[in-house]
């Protein structure tokens, strides 16, 4: 095997160092993206809390998931920042589902859920926030590279409530 001449050794070493640094930068870029998502989540959560909305209702829907916990949209009612009612919308009728364990609660719990998804799947995660109220309006996560292993959680309707249920 031919030996590398002495004048070429610094060049070869520099190429290997550059390749090593380039390969090491890939996780750093992903870490930067994770940090950006996490900072955006913290900023939007702060903006939501700053609005001081305690009484509201919203409709929530799970799309693109092979085993949806509840078929169809779910209407949630929150009063004094407490989860008080949940209904499945079935042919324009409200069916009480308050006893189901997988029912989402408040917008605060949506932020907690979004944080858990971000921590578990940081590089397969996408979120869109409402431009005015700053709640997570759409959260999408890929659990694997298969298209069926994907879930999208959408808040399709939101209303601030000024009276009681």
DSSP string, 116-141: HHHHHSTTSEEEEE-TTT--EEEEEE
Please indicate, yes or no, if residue 1 is contained in any of the structural domains.
Answer: no
Contacts of residue 80, defined as CB under 8 A and 6 or more positions apart, other chains included, come to 54, 55
The predicted structure's pLDDT at residue 93: 85
26-78 confidence digits (pLDDT tens): 454 466 777 888 899 999 999 999 999 999 999 988 876 655 556 778 899 99
Range of the domain at 131: 6-160
Between 4 and 94, whose confidence is greater? 94
Please indicate, yes or no, if residue 96 is contained in any of the structural domains.
Answer: yes
Indicate the number of domains in the chain.
1
CA-to-CA distance for 127 and 61, rounded, in angstroms?
15
The CATH number of the domain where 60 resides is what? Answer: 2.50.20
CA torsion, points 109, 122, 38, 84, in degrees to nearest 10? Answer: -10
Is there a contact between 142 and 149 (Cβ–Cβ < 8 Å)? Answer: yes
């Amino acid at each position: 095997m031919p030996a590398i001449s002495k004048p070429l050794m610094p060049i070869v070493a520099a190429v290997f160092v550059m390749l090593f640094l380039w390969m090491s930068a890939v996780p750093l870029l992903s870490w930067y993206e994770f940090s950006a998502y996490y900072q955006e989540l913290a900023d939007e959560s702060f903006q939501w809390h700053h609005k001081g909305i305690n009484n509201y209702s919203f409709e929530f829907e799970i799309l693109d998931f092979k085993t949806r916990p509840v078929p169809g949209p779910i209407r949630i009612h929150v009063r004094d920042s407490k989860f008080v009612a949940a209904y499945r919308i079935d042919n324009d009728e409200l069916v009480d589902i308050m006893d189901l364990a997988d029912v989402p609660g408040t917008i605060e719990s949506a932020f907690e859920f979004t944080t858990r998804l971000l921590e578990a799947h940081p590089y397969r995660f996408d979120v869109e926030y409402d431009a005015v109220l700053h709640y997570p309006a759409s959260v999408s996560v890929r659990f694997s590279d298969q298209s069926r292993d994907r879930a999208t959680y959408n808040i399709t309707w939101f209303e601030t409530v000024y009276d009681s249920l």
